[in-house]
């Protein structure tokens, strides 16, 4: 009887929902649409993990921002405020960008809360430059960790934390499903906004870099996404990582893709 009882209890245990927000620069506005629909349907994550652009939205969500807050911020965001986040593929300037504007913007929006002070447990993924290994930040300066997660090599200066250099989390975990599980998620909703490597213009240093990253991310995603329970893939067509003008379309694409998966999400939540 004891065995049957424990099985029954285990079967009815509420899942720990991990929301995983993937890399994709300006395509990351789609994450806002995803969050708006999940919130409207009463689906609230217990854990949020983000990589690169996904870390930006993950940090804001974890700090207590609602879907509408995120939508308002996305639409009012002055591109100059995060120019050093969107520049990687814009090709407007040469040289290495520090990333100060992004770090300062994040810390301002989260009221200078550290990662461990967030309302929702937050994980931010970056790549440790020397070892090439992925690192999950669960404590420390939120803006600095997000900056590290967004530091595309060859464009941004690596972010130094604790004497180590970190670069873009999207290099090792474009959609960091395994890290959400590491944090205790038992039901993972993953949002994949990685661009397909089909850009017609792969000329020039930045064009080649974008194409190379897209190829690498597709390869990693084919493995990583298999362990997600639900994968939401907004239809962003050929929206580039520097296309901030299409933010409205990206948000809408996130909403539509989430609505399409809502039946499955609710079914999985029932267990």
Q: Which residues are catalytic?
A: 52, 168
Distance CA 222, CA 233 (A): 13
Nearest to 119 by CA among 184, 66, 173, 179: 66
Distance CA 218, CA 145 (A): 24
Task: Report in angstroms the alpha-carbon separations of 150 from 15, 23, 187.
Answer: 30, 9, 26
* Backbone Cα Rg of the chain: 18
Nearest to 191 by CA among 100, 129, 98, 253: 253
Whether residue 265 contacts residue 47, with contact meaning beta carbons closer than 8 Å, is answered with no
């Amino acid at each position: 009887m004891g065995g049957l009882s424990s099985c029954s209890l285990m079967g009815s245990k509420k899942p720990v929902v991990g929301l995983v927000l993937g890399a994709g620069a300006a395509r990351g506005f789609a994450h806002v649409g995803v969050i708006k629909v999940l919130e409207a349907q009463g689906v609230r994550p217990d854990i949020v993990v983000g990589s690169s652009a996904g870390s930006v939205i993950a940090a804001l969500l974890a700090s207590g921002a609602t879907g509408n807050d995120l939508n308002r911020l996305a639409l009012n965001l002055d591109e100059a405020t995060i120019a050093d986040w969107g520049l990687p593929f814009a090709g407007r300037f040469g040289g290495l960008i520090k990333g100060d504007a992004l770090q300062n913007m994040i810390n301002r929006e989260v009221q200078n809360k550290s990662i461990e002070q967030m309302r929702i447990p937050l994980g931010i993924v970056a790549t440790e430059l020397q070892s090439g290994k992925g690192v999950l930040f669960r404590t420390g300066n939120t803006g600095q960790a997000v900056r590290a997660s967004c530091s595309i090599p060859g464009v941004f200066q690596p972010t130094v934390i604790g004497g180590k250099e970190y670069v873009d989390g999207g290099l090792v975990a474009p959609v960091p499903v395994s890290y959400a599980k590491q944090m205790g998620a038992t039901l993972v909703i993953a949002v994949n906004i990685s661009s397909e490597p089909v850009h017609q213009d792969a000329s020039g240093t930045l064009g080649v870099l974008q194409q190379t990253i897209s190829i690498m991310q597709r390869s990693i995603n084919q493995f990583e996404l298999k362990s997600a329970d639900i994968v939401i893939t907004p239809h962003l067509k050929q929206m580039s990582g520097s296309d901030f003008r299409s933010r409205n379309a990206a948000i809408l694409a996130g909403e539509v893709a989430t609505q399409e998966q809502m039946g499955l999400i609710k079914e999985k939540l029932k267990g």
